[in-house]
Structures are given as C-alpha cells and as structure tokens.
Chain A
Amino acid sequence: MSSELALGLLLYAVSLLTMAGIYGVLAIGLNIQWGYTGLFNAGIAGFFAIGAYVSAILTAASSDNFIGGFGWPFPVGLVAAMVVAGAIGYLVGRLCIRLRSDYLAIATIGVAEIFRLILKNEIWATNGPRGISNIPRPFESLSQPWSQIAFLLVVGLVVLIAYVLAERAGKSPWGRVMRSIRDNEAAAAAIGKNVTGFRLQGFVIGAALMGLGGALASHFFKFIGPEATEPLMTTFLVWVMLIIGGSGNNRGALLGALAVWTLWSATELLTSQLPPEWAVRATFLRIFLIGLGLQIVLQRYSKGLLPETLPKVDPSEFETPPGRAQEKAPAAE
C-alpha cells in the first residue's frame, strides 16, 4: 500500500519535472526572442504546434487518418521539428520582423491562429480535431517508473543543452549585439549592425526552440490535437514564466518555468480533491490567481525573481595597446 503511494508520488514528481522541463525549453526560446532581442512574440502556440505535429507525423506508425506516419526515430523527429519550426519562423519573421512591439504581437498571434485553423481543418493531413494519437515515447517499453524517469532524463538533457547554448550565445558578442538592438535600435544601427538581420536570427532561433518544446510535449503526452495549441496553456503560461522568472536571464526562465508549473499542478492536485462540480470551477479560480500574480509581479517586481545580469565586460578587451592588435586578431579567430 505505502509502496504504491510512494510510486504514485514518484510518478507525479517525475511528470511534474518533465513538464517543467518542456516549459523550460519554451521559456528559453522566448527569452532569446524577448529577453535578448526584444521581440514580442505572442504566437508561441503556433510554433509549439508546428513542432508537435511535425515530430508526431514523422515518428508515429503509419496511419490512414493523417499524412504519413513514417515511424522514424525520435531524435530525427526532434531535429525535424526544430528545422521546420525555424524555417516557418524565418518566413513569418521575414514578413513581420520590422513591426514594432504591439504590432508584432498582433501579427504573430494572427499567424498562430491561422496555423490552428489549418490544423483543425486540413483533416487529411492532421486528422483534424481528433488529433494524432499513439505518438511513440522513447523508453516506453521499460517498466514503471523507469520509462518515465528515462524520458525525464531525455528532457533534462535537452534543457541542459538549450540552456548552455543560450547562455553562451548570450555572453558572446552576438548576445551583446542582440541586447544593444533591444535597448537602443537606432544606436545599434548607427554602429553598423544589421538590425533586421539580427532580429530575424533571434526570432528563428526562438521559434526553433518552441518547435522543439512542442515535439517533446507531443511525445510526452503521446497525443497532439489542435486543442493542445490553445493560447492559454502555451503562449500565456510561457510569458508568465519568463516574466516571473526574470526576462533576459536563462536561469530565470528555467526557474520561472519550474515555479509556475509547480504552482499550477500542485494547486490542481488540491482542487482535484474537491467534488467534481467545484473541481471544475476551482480550475478557473487558479487561472484567475495566476493572472493576478502576474499583475503583482509586473507592478512590484518587474524584473522577475532572477533579474537579468549583464555579462561583465573586461575593459582591457577594448584597450588593446598599439602593436598588439595584429597579434590578437588571429588568436580571436
């Protein structure tokens, strides 16, 4: 009896951490777009959906209900999800990237809703509202709880790679250019940076990460349908995570994902104890409180739990003594 309870708790913790990890990937993607580059992407759900469907279609077993079902291995699905989401991000970005914050938000939310309509209506390709089920999850043949733990490790590895790369990129000269564009676009343009090009890069990288998050989610749930791409659960929650965690800070993004998701699912655990009629209502109370929490954080702690820390710049880097400039150039290569 108690071992059953312990197993249940363990599975709950593992699934909580897995979801937090998936949201962490999305939050890092948004951090690159918003935290680094200042791009207000309100269409996270769209890129999430693209990644989820691409990976689902490539890895699921062949089916008459939707296009393909190619049965390809899981890593191929993940990479393809990133590539396709990034490529679509490039097309969207090419069109929209010059728009100012609110306009970009409206445009990206419009694009995401168009994706959702396509996924819902093109039944031959996506099985329409019924979605794609039986998406394989790696290590699912292992016994409980090892299969869940193994998948958590996969997600953890992906998060780690995304974090390390995003961190390195943020500290590199590339990251400095991104921040300069975010803080003062005119100044960045004046020193000869290709502002549009850099903004587009930030957008595409973020979109690819959002596609990756979508792919992981579809494998975790073993199912993806157009409802999963609802703006509330993806776009909005990821924004809340990044703002609460600390926009501009990758560790903040991960902490925000973990904190908000823990809060979200722990309160769900509590409300599920209520009688069914109240359990449904309590869900909305939770959403209300999350919205209120966001407002408080925005007004009181607008920098988030872990505020952005700008990389320390070593002044000697800029004061190259005369005569050493020629030696140093090839070494930096």
Chain B
Amino acid sequence: MIEFINFYLIPGLVLGCMYALGAIGVSMLFGILRFAHFAHGDIITMGAYLALFFVTALGFPVLLALPVAIVLTAAISVLLDRGFYKPFRNSPTIYLVIASFGVALMIRSLVQLIWGVKVESYSAGTFSKPIIFFDTLRLADKHMWIVGLTIVIVVGLHYFLSRSKLGKAMRAMADEPDLAQVSGIPTEKVVRATWIIGGGLAATAGVFLGMDTQLHTNMGWDLLLPIFAAAILGGIGSPYGAIAGGLVIGLAEELSSYPWIGVEPLLSPGYKTGVAFALMVALLIWRPSGLFRGRVFT
C-alpha cells in the first residue's frame, strides 16, 4: 500500500500538476482563439530553459528563477502572438494551427541553438533526500514545492477568473465569443491576457518538470499530447476542467504500470505515455465534449 503511494500515486499527482498547468493554457487558448496551439509544449521548454539561464549564469535558486521565467515567457508569448498568430485572426483556423507548428519548431531550434542538446539540470550533482513521514511515507521536498505551488497558482487563478473584470471577460469569451463581442468586451485585451496566463503557466510547468527530472529540448513536446488529452478531457475552454483533466491523465499514466493484477505491471512502463494518447484519441471519438460536457467546436 505504502509503496503504491510512494511510487505511483505521488509521482502521478506531480505529473498531473504539470499537465494541469499546461492544459489550462491550451484549453483557454482553444476556447478564445479557437485553435489547437501546437507550440504550447515548446513554450514549456522555453520557460524551463529561461529559468536554467538564471540558475546557471546568475546563480539564482530555482524557486527565484521561476517568477523571472514566468514573466519572460509570458512576455514572449504575447510577442509570438503579435508576430505569428494575429495576422490570421480572421483566416480559417487551419492557418493558425500550421503557424503554431512552425512556431513550435522555431522555439525548439532556438533553444537547441543556444543551449545545445545535452541534458541539463537545475541542481547538478546535488541530491535532496526525501523526507520520511511515519517511517514509510516518502515525500521529496521538490514534490511538495510542485504540488504546493500548483495549488497556490490554481487558487489565485480561480480568484482572478471569478472576481476580476478581465477574468470574467475571459470566461465569457471562452464560453460564447460572439455574445461576448457584441456586449463590448475588448477582444484584443482578453487575447493578450490569455497569452500572458497561458505562457506564464506553461513556464511554471516547464520549471517544475525540470525540477522533478531534467531538462532536455524535447521535454515540452513530450508533454504536449498528454496536455491536449487533459484539455479535451476537461472540456475545451474550461480552466477548471483542464485542472481535473491534468490530474486524471497524470494519475492514469503512472497508475497504468502498477501491478493491479498479479505481480507484473499492468502495462509495460514503456507504454506509459501511450495511455494518455489512447485516452485522448478515445475521448475525441466518443466524447469530444469532455467529461464535464464542455463545448465542441464545429
């Protein structure tokens, strides 16, 4: 039982937090700009590497580099929107999707150009021992930071979306864009805010992934499909659904290799990420509105 918690449940939760942070952005961008943002994974990579710059070059502790990376990534996201997505606001969404493929490639190749393709780490050589509770429950402090900060961010986002005028405007636009526009919501301002939030959360996910494991230039791309799966599971355009979806996908991936029947893993760990892909394809086919009956764009 305790082994289940230590080696399957907690890693699943930590992974779920990262998926949730990415999926909120994907889901809101999909809801407001109506396209699947394929560069989101590489924005995650960019956030992680920006933090790495402050850690290695300037000697920041990771948790201090995190807010800097968030601000920078949010700003770059707004600029990327200006340069590569804004020209297509009134074109068929397919142009946006293809442009986002191009942006994904450009970001990744820039990261590779600047930092190379070696695997990097925030804390080279140091290994933090997990804190052990009740003799058996092992909690690494990085995991506590990741889950704790995710909760803080999600609560903050909740207050922003439910109390502030801009947050309400965002939800209105994600729900019913035409109605939002005729009721005088400043569309471009909302779009900018969406990029800031989406980019900032993506950077957070990237830094967390770097803290939990390592940094490599494909890290965000590998996260992208599970994030899409989470966003679809939670219902496109619903930030709360995206959080739930992220946790479900993260847990499903980790728990799929638990020996539920007998002693062998239920599914070979090599197929872990396949669980998210399969869930995603199945959802798209049978329940594209997600678990909570969100919207489907036609």
Contacts and interface: CB of A to CB of B under 8 A. Distances in A.
A269 B200 CA distance: 39
A96 B281 contact: yes
Interface string B251-273: 00000000000000000101101
Contacts of B288: 99, 103
B87 A299 contact: yes
A102 B93 contact: yes
A196 interface: no
A292 B99 CA distance: 10
A326 B285 CA distance: 45
Choose among B91, B106, B108 the residue with the greatest number of A CB atoms under 10 Å from its CB.
B106
Interface stretch (B109-117, B181-189, B237-245): B109-117
Contacts of A236: 101, 105
A110 interface: yes
Q: Is the interface of A mostly helix, strand, loop or mixed?
A: helix
B253 to A, nearest CB: 12
Question: In the complex, which range does the number of interface residues on chain B fall in?
Answer: 35 or more
A291 B271 contact: no
B278 interface: yes
B113 A281 contact: yes
A110 B98 CA distance: 17
A225 B117 CA distance: 20
Given A102-B35, A114-B274, A291-B109, A40 B97 contact: yes
Contact of A113 (B108, B113, B225, B285): B225
A333 B93 CA distance: 41
A281 B285 contact: no
Contact of A106 (B91, B95, B99, B284): B284
Contact of B94 (A101, A107, A286, A287): A101
A294 interface: yes
Contacts of B174: none
B14 interface: no
Residue of B108, B228, B277, B280 with most chain A CB atoms under a 10 A cut-off: B277
17 contacts: A96-B281, A99-B285, A100-B297, A103-B284, A105-B36, A105-B38, A106-B232, A110-B225, A111-B277, A113-B225, A236-B101, A236-B105, A287-B106, A291-B103, A292-B106, A295-B99, A298-B95
Interface of B: 30, 35-36, 38, 83-84, 87-88, 91, 93-95, 97-99, 101-103, 105-106, 108-110, 112-113, 116-117, 225, 228-229, 232, 268, 270-271, 273-274, 277-278, 280-281, 284-285, 288, 297-298
Interface of A: 40, 42, 95-96, 99-103, 105-107, 109-111, 113-114, 117, 120-121, 232, 236, 239-240, 243, 280-281, 284-288, 290-292, 294-295, 298-299, 302
